[in-house]
Amino acid sequence: MKRRDFFRNTSLAVFGSAIAAPVSALASSAATGRKGDHARNIIFLVSDGMSVGTLGMADLLLQRKEGRSSEWMRLYTEGLVKRALMDTASASSLVTDSAAASSSWGGGMRVNNGSLNVGPNGEEYKPILQKFKSAGKSVGCVTTVPITHATPAGFCVNSKSRGDQADIALQYLDLQFDIMMGGGAEFFSKDKRKDKADVFGQFKQKGYHVLQNREAMLTLQRGTGKPVLGVFHEDGLPYTLDAMQDAAITKAIPTLAEMTKTAIDHMNTNSKGFVLQVEGGKVDWAAHANDAAGLLYDQIAFDDAIKVAVDFAMKDKHTLVIITTDHGNANPGLFSGSKANANFDRIQKYRHTNDWILHGIRKDFSAAQVIERIEAAQGYAIKKEEAAQLLSHYAKMDGDGLYNPYKLPFKELAVMQRQYNSIGWGAMDHSGDYVELAMMGPGSENLKQFVKNTDLHYLMLEAAGVTE
């Protein structure tokens, strides 16, 4: 679809349905933006795989633990944003993956699951950060998963497969965006890459600041004009709750909020503005694992990044802030029962995630050791027969299985935990739900109450006054 045609006639094409309902991302007016103003900056925040239950439970946890609402819900309560629902389907399915979802925003067209801005017939769509970079803006991404992962990559590159992360790292080198930070050292390190290429070294040769720890990021000199690559872990960054219990991790690895502030400070020196994608990627990983502790504390960490973005935008007055998710995942929720309040309050005292629990169990553990580990991590004692059931999975594993989350008994542990935290799960996969979308600042006045994911590509370009 050509951009000029979008504003004349945008329709919601629902995969697998003969029904098409007209929809446009444009509305006539809004209290959150002034008609005619252009956004100099755009901050696009994505809590990857956030079902609505995740948003609600994180808010409830903060209310009951700290006596405050989440930043996202505060924006709703105080009427500071426009709010909409978004259809998240891809070209190949009602249920999208993160690559196709990010490509819908990044390239403005729906593609098949697994693809990054490459259509079903091989056609390539120019990613939005390339468009903004060509317009003179500074651009970048920060994330809690590998920086080469699907959601940041969907704003940046064209690739037939989201799995080609080693190649995506090289594409980033060619693109020379202004700041890219997250995990994924295995795709940059000569010791980890299959081709033994020293991609870190190549970035340095291109004039990049290459950062590999939190201190280097926090002491980064502002306004040098040099682009930044920050890679702080071999894979995804540690879960927030686990990091909170480990001083070495908190010293070495920045939070998403810290990365967000660093990126804003670094790019805000450009008089033409900047565009930044911020992803809470471990929310999705925790949802796949039915890991309530990982999910809720990483959602709160994402919420801290929202506050950084909103605080900047409120002072700046020229920044469009977009807050959303790419799709639902696992549809978790707090379910009824006489002990629901007390059970849910247990999460306030959790020290570790299910990921930490299960990766620390060995096949030679006794049931008593399993019970002890879970009680130390989350404050309740499972039954001996439940511990034996968990251990039975380890007896069947080969050596590599302990490091493969799909072979560990995440589902079984989550089912057991419901009696202790009252949280239930619909599945361990993405869902086709319509999802939450919030906007504030210049351009938000153009948001209608129900949109298609691809609409956001054109809304961002229009808000910034950038032509393709």
Instruction: Give the total residue count for the chain.
Output: 468
Helix axes 384-395, 367-378, angle to 10 degrees: 110
Do the domain assignments include residue 340?
A: no
* pLDDT of 35: 61
Please give the structure tokens belonging to residue 215: 């201190």
What's the mean pLDDT in 371-389? 98
Please give the share of the chain, as a percent, with pLDDT higher than 70: 90
| 308, 184: one domain | yes
| 225, 321: one domain | yes
Do the domain assignments include residue 173?
A: yes
Report the domain count for the chain.
2
* pLDDT of 406: 56
Helix (H) or strand (E) holding 401: none
pLDDT in tens, 58-86: 999 999 999 999 999 999 999 999 999 99
Do the domain assignments include residue 343?
A: no
Rounded Cα distance, 23 and 26, in Å: 9
From 267, 319, 456, select the one nearest 39 (Cα to Cα).
319
Residue in this structure with the two tokens 């020379």, named with its chain if needed: 176
Do the domain assignments include residue 341?
A: no
What's the mean pLDDT in 398-421? 79
Which CATH number belongs to the domain containing residue 108 in this structure? 3.40.720.10
Do the domain assignments include residue 342?
A: no
| 419, 434: one domain | no
Residue in this structure with the two tokens 């370009």, named with its chain if needed: 461
| 267, 403: one domain | no
| 299, 373: one domain | no
Q: Sorting pLDDT into bands at 50, 70 and 90, what band is 439?
A: very high
Do the domain assignments include residue 10?
A: yes
| 172, 92: one domain | yes
Rounded Cα distance, 454 and 447, in Å: 13
3-state percent helix, strand, coil for the chain, nearest multiple of 5: 45, 15, 40
| 148, 207: one domain | yes
Contact 253, 20 (CB under 8 A): no
pLDDT in tens, 196-238: 999 999 999 999 999 999 999 999 988 788 999 999 999 999 9
Helix axes 410-421, 292-316, angle to 10 degrees: 80
* pLDDT of 374: 99
Question: Which carries the bigger pLDDT value, residue 126 or residue 403?
Answer: 126
Beta strands in 284-368 (DSSP E): 319-324, 328-329, 333-334
* pLDDT of 222: 82
Q: What is the average pLDDT value for the chain, to the nearest integer? A: 92
| 120, 171: one domain | yes
| 194, 236: one domain | yes
Do the domain assignments include residue 338?
A: no
DSSP string covering 303-354, please? Answer: HHHHHHHHHHHHHHSSEEEEEE-S-EES--EE---TTHHHHHHGGGG--S-H
Helix (H) or strand (E) holding 233: none
Helix (H) or strand (E) holding 171: helix 165-175
What's the mean pLDDT in 330-353? 96
Please give the share of the chain, as a percent, with pLDDT higher than 90: 87
Rounded Cα distance, 24 and 314, in Å: 27
pLDDT in tens, 6-59: 333 333 333 333 333 334 444 433 335 566 689 999 999 999 999 999 999 999
pLDDT in tens, 89-108: 999 999 999 999 999 999 99
* DSSP code, position 164: -
- What is the greatest pairwise CA distance in the chain? 67
Do the domain assignments include residue 339?
A: no
From 144, 154, 166, select the one nearest 99 (Cα to Cα).
154
Does residue 405 have a pLDDT over 70?
A: no
pLDDT in tens, 119-146: 999 999 999 999 999 999 999 999 999 9
pLDDT in tens, 264-296: 999 999 999 999 999 999 999 999 999 999 999
* pLDDT of 36: 63
| 303, 324: one domain | yes
| 448, 384: one domain | no
Range of the domain at 387: 350-424
* pLDDT of 3: 40
Does residue 403 have a pLDDT over 90?
A: no
| 376, 433: one domain | no
